[in-house]
Each structure stands twice: as structure tokens, then as C-alpha cells.
Structure 1
Amino acid sequence: MAARRQPPEIKRRIPRQSRAAETVVAILEGAAQILEAGGLAAFTTNAVAERAGVSIGTLYQYFTDKNALLLALARREMEVALADVGRALRGESDPSLEGRVRAMVRTIIHAFRGRQRARKAVVQAILAQGLGIELMAPVASFIAAAGAEVGSGAHPILPALSREQLFVMSRATLGAIRAAVLEEQPFLRSRAFEDEIVRLAVAYLGAITAAADPGRNRTTV
């Protein structure tokens, strides 16, 4: 009896040309719109393809399944957020420590361009797939690199954070925001919530600075 032939492996295309890149953008935008309109319950590859105006075969050329779509959407939004976080940490709008932290927190809270339902669906999917660490690592690394740049010089704005301090700082702030997203807290985008996250981050950074240089803020007689 002849051996059963194995189906050929389908290699996912990497969008190198401008048209291919535009197709991927359209697919991811369609995915975000479907998630915002109906959440994970309405999120299927067929629905995304229809919303994006492409065939299902075209969608599968770039994404193996809807989980790959969710991860790609999360990565896209993270890249946009990191660029904004970088500008915040450099103090382009407000050079003070609180100003930099506030700008960073505001950027993270307002990620996904205000699409709260889409953001919740992506966060849920990422956590279910155990990919939270994969996406958190570049965020932490970016904040560490940007913080080191800002913290250099004779009078640094931000203290240099150890690996442990960076872990606590990123998880405390991002964890609180993530919880508010998943719980659909009505205050998520309020100034009061932003104030509390900023208070937490600034107090923690201030404590690190004071511990590293006890005499820096000591009043002289």
C-alpha cells in the first residue's frame, strides 16, 4: 500500500513589498475593528478577512490563525506605545520627573487609540496563551534603556534601576492598568486613576533615589 502523502507545509509570507505591507495593515485594522465591535466572541478569521476586504486565503498567507492575529495586533500596538513612551521619558512635553512619568502612564492607558473593548480582548488572549512575559520583556527593556539615557549626567532625572527594581516598577504600574482593563473599570481613562498610577511610580522612584544618595535631599543647617 502506497504511503499517504503528507500535506505540504504552508510557509507564511513576510510582507516585504509595499502592497504586502498594506495588506497586513488592512488585516490588523480589520481585526481591531471586529474586536471593538463584538469582542472575542465575534472574532474569527472569516470576519476579519471580510472587514479587511481580502480573501480568507490571503489572510492565511500572513497569519496562521486568529491567535497569530491577536499576537500581531498586540505587537503592533506595543511598538506604537513604545515610541510614545520614549518621547515621554525624554521629557519632550514636560522634563520633570513627574511630567515624564505622567506622559508615560497616559500613553499606556490610552493605547489602542481608545478602543477599550479591543484592548481587553487582546489582553485576555495574550494572558490565555501565556504570552504576557514575551510582550512584557521588550517593554521593560525599553524603559530600562530610556531610563538609563535620561538618568545619565551629573544631575540625573531618573535613578538607574536594578533588574529587580525595574521588574517591580513595570509590573506594579502596568499590572494596575491591565487589571483596570480586564475588569472594565469605569475610571480607567480618568484623571484620578492616572494620578494614582503616577503617585505610585514617582514615590517608588523617589525612594530609590533617596536610598542611593541619602544626603541628596538632606536639608543643610
Structure 2
Amino acid sequence: MQGRTLNFVTKSMVKTKRIPKQARAKARIAAILSATDALLRSSLPSNITTTAIAHTAKIPVGSVYQYFRDKNDILEQLYAEASKQVEELVLAEQSAVDPALGFDHINRTLLQCFWQTARSHPTFGALTRWANREHSFVEVTPGTDSSLARLIMRTFEITGINLPAARKEAVLRISVTVVSAVVDIAFEEDDADKAQTLIDELALLLSGYLA
């Protein structure tokens, strides 16, 4: 399994068992995902069962296994969808920034945008914590071809940071790994102020590293 991005999931993490071709099949999958999403708003991922999902979706439990391997398969897809929603908002913020503000300001702005968006999302935090427990550090660490890497590279470009070819991949890899790891740790922190401090320190760390 390849890693996810700023807590954005790669396609390799989403492997539905059966590709729907008919309207009824698509409706069933939508019902399963919607039911699981609803359950996530009041229950921990570990406490959700396929039986509960089927009951909430008002379908036979066997129908769940027609389209998904297991509960984790469903959670992976929901995580991908939640990640995409967060990613789109960060991309919109990035496209609106003024390059003249410089890297430090833009870096802080984008990290805060992500953090506030992710924390306010109804299921993203729970799914991130679930993924951290289900997968190894290597599996959840995004690569240099991830959407997080593209966001970071775009930030470099719009703020005029030009990296030598010999350093570019290494700097990008380190930046992506550090951002992903600190954000994951922040999501494990129950104290909102302490979590925010981690994000603030992350911004300072990146600014110092890339100064």
C-alpha cells in the first residue's frame, strides 16, 4: 500500500470489491457509504460493524459484501472522499494567495487553512486516527508524487523558492514527511490548544528549514 497525502488518500488505498455498472448497484454503494458516514458521526470506527451499516442503510448485510471486502474497505473510501473535500478547500486557498506575501506568511496561512478545515470536518479526524492505527508509518507517509507534495511544490513556486536539482527531491521528501507526521500527531492530541501549538511549531520548522 502506498502512503496517503496530507492526510489525502491515494487511489491504492481504495479498492472496492465490485465496480457498479447499474443504477441499483450505484444506489446500494451510495447507501452503504452514507450509512457508514452517519455512524461515524456518533461512533468510533472500531465500534462500527457491517451489521450496523446494513441496518442503517436498510439493506441485507450480504449486500455490503457484494461491493466491499469488509468494513475497512468502506472506511478507506470514506477517508478518500473526506480527504478530497479538505484538499479542494486548501487548493482554493492556495490559488487565492498573494505571492508577494512571501513563503513564511503563505506557509502559515495554508497550514492553518488545512488544520481548521480538517478539524471542522465531521469525520476526517476520526478517519485519520483510524488510518494511523490500521497502517504503518511507512504506509501512511505520502510520497513525492502525492497531492501533498504538489501543494508544497506549488507553494515553493508561487513564493519564488528555487531549489537546486540536487536537493529538490530530498527537500520535498523531508517536507512532506514532516508535515504528514506532525499533522497526524496533532490529530491524536485531545487538547485543541496543544494540537494548535503543534501546527504553529510546524510552520516555524518549515520556515526555518527553507529560509
Q: TM-score, normalised to structure 1's length?
A: 0.66
More relative contact order in 1 or in 2 (CA 8 Å, sep 6+)? 2
Moved more, 137-146 or 100-109: 137-146
The structure carrying a bigger helix percent of its residues is 2
Cα distance in 1 for partners of 2:39, 2:146 equals 31
> How is 1:60-209 mapped onto 2 (pairs within 5 angstroms)?
60-90=65-95, 92-95=96-99, 96=101, 97-109=103-115, 110-111=117-118, 113-115=120-122, 118-130=123-135, 133-137=138-142, 141-149=146-154, 151-152=156-157, 156-160=159-163, 162-187=168-193, 190=196, 194-206=199-211
| 1:58 equivalenced with 2:68 (yes/no) | no
Q: Deviations over 1:114-158 (max 9, x none)?
A: 33xx44542343233326544543686323334445545xx8534
SS at match of 2:192: coil
Q: Deviations over 1:23-63 (max 9, x none)?
A: 43443333233223121343111222333344323322221
Cα distance in 1 for partners of 2:72, 2:133 equals 10
Structure 1 runs of 4+ with >6 Å offset: none
Structure 2 gaps of 5+ residues are 1-15
Rg (Cα) greater in structure: 1
Question: Are residues 57 and 36 of structure 1, via their aligned partners in 2, closer, same or farther at CA, if it must alter by over 3 Å?
Answer: same
Percent of pairs identical after alignment?
Answer: 22
Contact 2:152 2:176 in 1 (8 A): no
Q: TM-score, normalised to structure 2's length?
A: 0.69
Cα distance in 2 for partners of 1:197, 1:205 equals 12
Question: Are residues 74 and 146 of structure 1, via their aligned partners in 2, closer, same or farther at CA, if it must alter by over 3 Å?
Answer: same
SS at match of 1:137: coil
The CA RMSD measured in Å over matched residues stands at: 3.3
Cα distance in 2 for partners of 1:140, 1:113 equals 27
Cα distance in 2 for partners of 1:25, 1:176 equals 33
Structure 1 gaps of 5+ residues are 1-10, 207-221
**What is the number of equivalent residue pairs in this alignment?**
190
Letter in 1 for 2:112: R
| 1:45 equivalenced with 2:50 (yes/no) | yes
